[in-house]
């Protein structure tokens, strides 16, 4: 019952429950010169059939992208691929997706989950990257360990998406204030931008957006040497503006039936998201 009540509101942040709805959203964004990354929602699967269903959904998404000639790649979570079941099984599943993506000259991004999975995610990524260069990973700026991780990824020549971080973490693992998170983000972004390995700067924060544009201008870096990334349904006007200004702009387009955990994270992140939900739940 709660899901039925919430989903019409969640559609602000989720493209739909089917691949057809997601593809329609991708076409719409591409029409404005905006790139996308498709994400089949789901995490922490506990059975092989569930993991295999997720793999099949990603293979189908990649086939749709290639068939329709869309400007999109895909993003996935390792716990969705069976990391909690068996590491090697998970690695094989992600490798299958990377192989299908490579056949269509496409790219796969491994999302980062809570800190309990950071080390496991990166170690699996390193193994995967030895054979599949069309895969990248996400680093969360609020974690104390992230500078060390970024430096290692730069040495490998791996493509990194840098974000603030969306999971609640203790002070022992992550900085807690907005000012500290911003400072970490700028420090890590400067390392990535200087190396020109096409980093993704994933933020909706005006301070960080302005800092990135100024950094690019001051260091005379090409606009197409990196990309901005934002979430579906968040600051759509800014997304179009950045694309119109010549910055590569990619939007994370999630879809599927397992949308509730993702929706809750979006609500926790921003006060305006809470206001949006309350407004739509109680309007007549």
Domains of the chain: 2-282 (3.20.20.220)
Residue 229 CA to residue 67 CA, distance in Å, equals 24
Please report the pLDDT score of residue 281 as a whole number.
38
Residue 272: other Cβ atoms inside 10 A: 10
Over 70: is that where the pLDDT of 280 sits? Answer: no
Q: What's the pLDDT at 257?
A: 81
H helix or E strand, kind and range, residue 244? helix 236-244
Answer yes or no: are the C-beta atoms of 186 and 146 closer than 8 Å: no
Which region among 26-30, 45-49, 265-269, 270-274 has the lowest average model confidence (pLDDT)? 270-274
Q: What is the mean pLDDT of residues 185-191?
A: 98
pLDDT band at 262 (very low <50, low <70, confident <90, very high): confident
For the entire predicted model, the pTM comes to: 0.90
In this prediction, residue 26 has a pLDDT band, given cuts at 50, 70 and 90, of: very high
Residue 19 pLDDT exceeds 80: yes
pLDDT at residue number 270: 52
pLDDT of residue 204: 94
Radius of gyration of the chain (CA): 18
Rounded-to-integer distance, Cα 232 and Cα 15, Å: 7
Helix axes 118-129 and 146-156, enclosed angle (nearest 10): 0
- What DSSP character marks residue 197? S
- pLDDT at residue 266 is higher than 90: no
Residue 74, pLDDT > 50, answer: yes
Residue 94 pLDDT exceeds 60:
yes
Task: Give pLDDT tens digits for 203-215.
Answer: 999 999 999 999 9
pLDDT in tens, 99-134: 999 999 999 999 999 999 999 999 999 999 999 999
Q: Is the pLDDT of residue 66 over 80?
A: yes
Instruction: Pick the closest to residue 185 from 134, 146, 137, 229 (CA basis).
Output: 146
Residues tagged active-site? 111, 161
Decide if pLDDT at 52 tops 60.
Answer: yes
pLDDT at residue 12, as a whole number:
79
13/247: higher pLDDT: 247
Mean pLDDT of 158-182: 95
Q: Which residues contact 204 (CB under 8 A, 6 or more apart)?
A: 230, 231, 234, 235, 238, 270
So what's the pLDDT on residue 11? 73
pLDDT bucket at 3, cuts 50 / 70 / 90 = low
């Amino acid at each position: 019952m709660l899901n039925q009540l919430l989903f019409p509101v969640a559609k602000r942040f989720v493209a739909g429950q089917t691949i057809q709805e997601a593809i329609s959203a991708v076409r719409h964004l591409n029409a404005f010169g905006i790139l996308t990354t498709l994400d089949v929602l789901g995490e922490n699967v506990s059975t092989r059939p569930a993991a295999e269903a997720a793999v099949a959904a990603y293979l189908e998404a990649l086939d749709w992208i290639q068939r329709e000639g869309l400007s999109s790649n895909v993003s996935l979570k390792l716990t969705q691929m069976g990391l909690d079941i068996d590491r090697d099984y998970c690695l094989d599943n992600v490798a299958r997706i990377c192989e299908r993506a490579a056949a269509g000259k496409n790219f796969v991004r491994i999302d980062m989950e809570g800190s309990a999975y950071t080390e496991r995610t990166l170690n699996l990524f390193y193994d995967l990257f030895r054979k599949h260069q069309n895969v990248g990973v996400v680093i969360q700026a609020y974690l104390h360990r992230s500078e060390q991780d970024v430096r290692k990824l730069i040495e490998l020549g791996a493509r990194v998406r840098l974000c603030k971080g969306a999971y609640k973490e203790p002070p022992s693992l992550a900085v807690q204030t907005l000012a500290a998170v911003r400072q970490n983000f700028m420090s890590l972004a400067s390392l990535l931008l200087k190396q020109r390995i096409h980093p993704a700067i994933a933020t909706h924060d005006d301070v960080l957006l302005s800092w990135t544009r100024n950094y690019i201008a001051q260091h005379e870096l090409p606009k197409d040497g990196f990309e901005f990334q934002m979430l579906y349904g968040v600051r759509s006007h800014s997304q179009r503006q950045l694309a119109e200004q010549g910055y590569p702009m990619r939007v994370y387009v999630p879809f599927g039936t397992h949308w509730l955990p993702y929706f809750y994270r979006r609500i926790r992140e921003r006060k305006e998201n809470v206001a949006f939900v309350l407004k739509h739940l109680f309007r007549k």
